[in-house]
Structure 1
Amino acid sequence: MTPSFGHLMTEATRLTRAGDLRAATALIQSALGAAVPSATVATARTDQGDVIDVEAREVWPEALPESNRPAEPAEPAFGQQFLPGSYTGAAGTRAYKLYVPPGYQQGQSLPLVLMLHGCSQDPDDFARGTGMNEAARAQGFLVLYPAQTKHANSSGCWNWFKRNHQRRGSGEPALLAGMTRQVMQQYGVDARRVYVAGLSAGGAMAAILGSCYPELFAAVGVHSGLPAGAASDLPSALAAMRSGAGDTPAPALDSPPIIVFHGDRDATVHPSNGEQIAAAGMAASRRERGSQGRAYTRDVYRDSQGRPRAEHWVVHGAGHAWSGGRADGSYTDPQGPDASAEMLRFFFANPRA
């Protein structure tokens, strides 16, 4: 009898904890049915194709070939544009694309939504799949899409599971916060209405950004992601993805409101992660059920003062995909309720005080 993917990954986790990385890599390769990209990089892939890169390295801008160097930062734009740019901070350099809605005027104070793609995606793919640029054109806000590099993570994942990328002032959180502030300054963004959302690894990083920079992000959206602090290495990351996060740090009292989407058939990131992100010690104050193509259950959570602080959407029958997304993007589920529209509703109802 051939071992299942789950059994192979469980054994790979045991071998990693025991320090036998060579044997663990061989098992992961067996589970994937394909070669691991590097002798120093092991990749775990689910049967739905999502990836988590277990080792990552930072490559400084001067070490990159000219063809891989990010574009120069965009100048403030007039009229609808999808502009390339880049940001360099102490943790390195990342390219980005910025959507500027039509009719933008210099000095106009618009909201900003930071969108963090999932593994193997890029800004263009994520914009197509979520339809966020179309929403920005209709409602009048900026959308910033950072691009993870293959040099920082060979699968294009944000490094949510590494300790140095989970703290304020360190690693990718510092880089993404700095990029956000750069765009805010260039475009005169309304500082009370800056938000962050992400899918999968991007969702996990969005949760980290919310916990590390509550003075910057007014609200957070997490789709098919994991709580901040859910993992600190490969074994704990695989365990959290497989069966849910264990004990995670309690959110700070000033943590921003959060909206969570998760499919209950997600075989890549266990759905219990979504509930853990939203609940965070609060009791659900209201539950509703409905159907927008797929049936869903929405729980609303309130803090001790009765303020609504979180929403948790469970999309029934959905897998690891952006609910209500467009078919021309990857990891989308057009049948589900529109996660982009609901996140924007939640964001704009929660400006930072």
Structure 2
Amino acid sequence: MHPDFQRLMTEAARLTRAGELRRATASIRAALGKGAAPAATPTAAEDDCVVIDVEARRVEPEPPIQKPASAPASVPGGQFIAGSHTDVNGAHEYKLFVPPVWRGQALPLVVMLHGCTQNPDDFAAGTGMNDAAREHGVFVLYPAQTQRANASRCWNWFKHNHQQRDRGEPALLAAMTRDVMARYGIDPQRVYVAGLSAGGAMAAILGDAYPDLFAAVGVHSGLPAGAATDLPSALAAMKSGASTPPKNTAVPTLVFHGDADATVHPTNGERAIDARAGGVTPESTRARSDNGREYTRRRYRAEDGRVVAEHWTIHGAGHAWSGGSARGSYTDARGPDATEEMLRFFREHTLPTAR
């Protein structure tokens, strides 16, 4: 990695906003130690903007995760435990929240995919998902991206070899999910996936690739499946919205996106909804959260009356988890509670028994 990582990533963000995608790509490659930095040009005042997901900042070493010898038979008080899934590429770490009500019965599972520079502990703290899952009796799986796979710990949603069933990171995450399901007897009709930014984009890909595994998807400040196939197209999609039509999906989808998001253009949230409910006229309501932010909620119904998609536009919010806690990074405490709304939406959807 280049010693001037933060400066180069900040410069890449400025070049992206200016539409100079080729030079932005060169700056990113230089930051990651894969090329020379682009020639200097007159710049506006530097800021702490983002490129692939969240703030360009120094990536801290990943703390060691202590793994349990095996899954506990029962967990009276609930636990947040470390584990790993092993495949042909080696061991992949995760954290798992086991709700206190579990005594071996089949409970739901939510897979939570963190954003760049984050890790499972940070993401759990910021979203408050474990607290909500404790109340509702839900397992929560937090896969951990590594710096080996991506220097900023981003899920590689923008690479073509990580966008299909049984390939790359979708295959890894699906296999990890099935491993946890088997260990803990998870209800196979109630498995869900959600994520923030790069994690939200990967959640959309997983829903598209594995509609037989995930009963519903939550995309927070992310992009639709197929939004990009390489770094230049990813930068363009983040700046102005995906240019390619969204891939149609049958999986119920909930989207949260701030309309002041300067990292991932809010149009991407619209595209993610179009993938599930394109052409359907929504029911629209505008309200104010208890914490102060106004929002617009649009609900899309199928012909039988079922709500198959929801889009929450958080007015004035940037690139952050709505209603989140300052205990974690990239959160906006003033917005409506995305965590509770996702769990509510997930409870409304299950896979059919016969699959």
Which category of TM-score, normalised to the shorter sequence, fits these structures? 0.7 to 0.9
User: Does the Cα contact within 8 Å between 2:302 and 2:308 map onto a contact in 1?
Assistant: yes
Letter in 1 for 2:341: E
Distance, in Å, in 2 between the alignment partners of 1:227 and 1:265 is 18
Q: What residue number does 1:52 align with?
A: 52
CA distance in 1, matches of 2:82, 2:65: 12
Q: Say whether 1:94 aligns with 2:127.
A: no
Query: Which residue pairs with 1:322 in the alignment?
Result: 321
1:266 equivalent in alignment to 2:261: yes
Q: Unpaired segments of 5 or more residues in structure 1?
A: 30-34, 54-66
Q: How does 1:55-74 map to 2 (within 5 A)?
A: 71=67, 74=70
Residue pairs, 1:111-126, within 5 angstroms: 111-126=108-123
Deviation at 1:140, TM superposition (A): 0.6
The alpha-carbon distance between structure 1 residues 7 and 52, as it changes in their structure 2 partners (threshold 3 A), is closer
Correspondence list, 1:7-156, <5 A: 8-9=15-16, 10=18, 12-15=20-23, 24-25=26-27, 36-39=31-34, 47=47, 49-52=49-52, 71=67, 74-76=70-72, 77-79=74-76, 80-90=78-88, 92-105=90-103, 107-156=104-153
The DSSP-based 3-state class of the residue aligned with 1:52 is coil
- What is the CA-CA distance between 1:277 and the residue it aligns to? 0.6
Aligned twin of 1:344 = 343
1:241 aligned partner: 238
For residue 268 of structure 2, what is the amino acid of its counterpart?
A: N
Question: Please, which of 274, 277, 286 is the counterpart of residue 279 of structure 1?
Answer: 274
Q: 2:196 aligns to what? A: 199
- Work out whether residues 110 and 140 of structure 2, in 8 Å CA contact, stay in contact via their aligned partners in 1: yes
CA-based RMSD of the aligned residues comes to: 2.5
Aligned partner letter, 1:8: L
**Aligned-pair distance for 1:51?**
4.4
Verify the 8 A CA contact 1:166 1:208 in the aligned structure 2: yes
Aligned equivalents of 2:248, 2:201: Cα separation in 1: 14
> Is the CA contact (8 Å cut-off) linking 2:317 and 2:332 kept in structure 1?
yes
d(CA) in 2 for partners of 1:122 and 1:174? 20
For 1:275 and 1:73, the matched residues in 2 are separated by: 44
- Residue 154 of structure 2 is matched in structure 1 by 157
The alignment's TM-score, normalised by the length of structure 2, stands at 0.83
Aligned length: 319
Alignment match of 1:178 (pick from 167, 170, 175): 175
- 8 Å Cα contact 2:13/2:50 also seen in 1: no
- For the residue of structure 1 that corresponds to 2:31, the secondary structure is coil
Using the TM superposition, give the Cα deviation of residue 309 of structure 1 relative to its aligned residue in structure 2, in angstroms.
1.2
Instruction: Give the whole-Å Cα distance in 2 for the aligned partners of 1:344 and 1:48.
Output: 32
The share of aligned pairs that are identical, in percent, is: 60
Deviation, 1:324, is 0.2
Change over 3 Å in CA distance of 1:73–1:97 after alignment to 2: farther
Task: Determine the C-alpha separation between the residues in 1 that align with 2:338 and 2:190.
Answer: 19
2:308 maps to 1:309 = yes
User: In the aligned structure 2, how far is the partner of 1:41 from the partner of 1:196?
Assistant: 38
Report the TM-score, using the length of structure 1 for normalisation.
Answer: 0.84
Match for 2:71: what amino acid?
Answer: E
What displacement does 1:246 show?
Answer: 1.1
